[in-house]
Amino acid sequence: MLVPLDDARRHVLGFLTRPLPAETVAATEALGRITAERIVAPEAVPSFDNSAMDGYGVRAIDTVVAPVELRATGRTLAGEGPLGMVGAGEAVRIMTGAPLSPGIDAVVPIEQVDVLDDGARIRLAAPVPFGQHVRRTGDDLVIGDVVVESGARLSAAHLGLLASLGLEKVSAVRRPRVGVLSTGDELVQGPVPLLSGQIRDSNRPALLSLVAEAGAEPVDLGHAPDEAGAITAAFLAGVTSCDAILSSGGVSMGDVDLVKEVLDLIGEMRWMQVAIKPAKPFAFGLVDGVPVFGLPGNPVSSLVSFELFARPAIRRLAGHPDHRLDRPCPTAIAVDGLPRKPDGKIHFDRVVVRIASEGRLEVRSAGGQGSHQMSAMAAANGLAIVPDSLGIPVGGRVAVLLTGEL
Q: State the nearest-atom distance from the C-beta of 183 to Mg ion, in Å.
A: 6
232 binds ligand AMP (CB under 6 A): no
Q: State the nearest-atom distance from the C-beta of 168 to ligand AMP, in Å.
A: 41
296 binds Mg ion (CB under 5 A): no
373 binds ligand AMP (CB under 6 A): no
Half-sphere exposure of 265 (CA within 13 A, CB side): 12
Contact, 398 vs 334, CB < 8 A? yes
Number of residues that bind ligand AMP (CB under 6 A): 20
Report how far residue 126's alpha carbon sits from residue 275's, in angstroms, rounded to the nearest whole number. 74
Query: Phi and psi of 18, rounded to 5°?
Result: -125, 150
Contact, 67 vs 125, CB < 8 A? yes
186 binds ligand AMP (CB under 6 A): yes
Q: Which does 382 bind (CB under 5 to 8 A by kind): Mg ion, ligand AMP, none?
A: none
Work out which of 113, 167, 180, 187 binds ligand AMP, going by CB under 6 A: 187
Contact, 400 vs 383, CB < 8 A? yes
Name the nearest CA neighbour of 133 among 151, 156, 107: 107
Q: Which does 179 bind (CB under 5 to 8 A by kind): Mg ion, ligand AMP, none?
A: none
342 binds ligand AMP (CB under 6 A): no
Report how far residue 398's alpha carbon sits from residue 403's, in angstroms, rounded to the nearest whole number. 15
Contact, 266 vs 228, CB < 8 A? no
Number of residues that bind Mg ion (CB under 5 A): 3
Q: Which residues contact 277 (CB under 8 A, 6 or more apart)?
A: 343, 345, 346, 347, 348, 371
199 binds ligand AMP (CB under 6 A): yes
Q: Give me the sign of the Cα torsion angle 371, 377, 379, 380.
A: positive
250 binds Mg ion (CB under 5 A): yes
Q: State the nearest-atom distance from the C-beta of 279 to ligand AMP, in Å.
A: 11
Nearer to Mg ion, 57 or 249 (CB): 249
Q: State the nearest-atom distance from the C-beta of 200 to ligand AMP, in Å.
A: 7
297 binds ligand AMP (CB under 6 A): yes
Site of interaction with Mg ion (CB under 5 A): 184, 249-250
Residues that bind ligand AMP (CB under 6 A): 182, 184, 186-187, 199, 201-204, 248-252, 254, 257, 296-299
